[in-house]
Amino acid sequence: MWRKGVVMYVRTIVADLVPGKAHEAVRIFRDEIVPVIRQQPGYVSTSIYIDPDHGQAQTVSCWQSKEAMDSTSEGSIYLSEVVGLLRGCLVNRSYDAWEVGFTDSV
């Protein structure tokens, strides 16, 4: 986020939803993944977006620095364990990393 020289980084994971598993994916994310991700250094926030009509899900996690994001990125033990929790709900994952250009919130 460009505000007073502060830059934030975001990782997105897009995946196909296993049919009938949308509610379970949200429950696992909320109850099992969020408590773990909150303990990671540099963590800012996370969300999961579900489109059951099109069978898609997307997670977004925000980080204070590129280093914090990278330490939890693809290939890390952390990410493999967290993604493993959703293995029965989400398949065909793709990962992307972004530098936030602008964000607004209330």
Domain ranges of the chain: 9-99
Band (6; pLDDT cuts 50, 70, 90): low
Q: What is the pLDDT, as a whole number, of residue 4?
A: 55
22-77, pLDDT tens digit by residue?
Answer: 999 999 999 999 998 999 999 999 999 999 899 999 999 999 999 999 988 877 78
Domain 9-99 has CATH 3.30.70.100: yes
Q: State the maximum Cα–Cα separation within the chain, in Å, rounded to a whole number.
A: 44
- State pTM to two decimals: 0.84
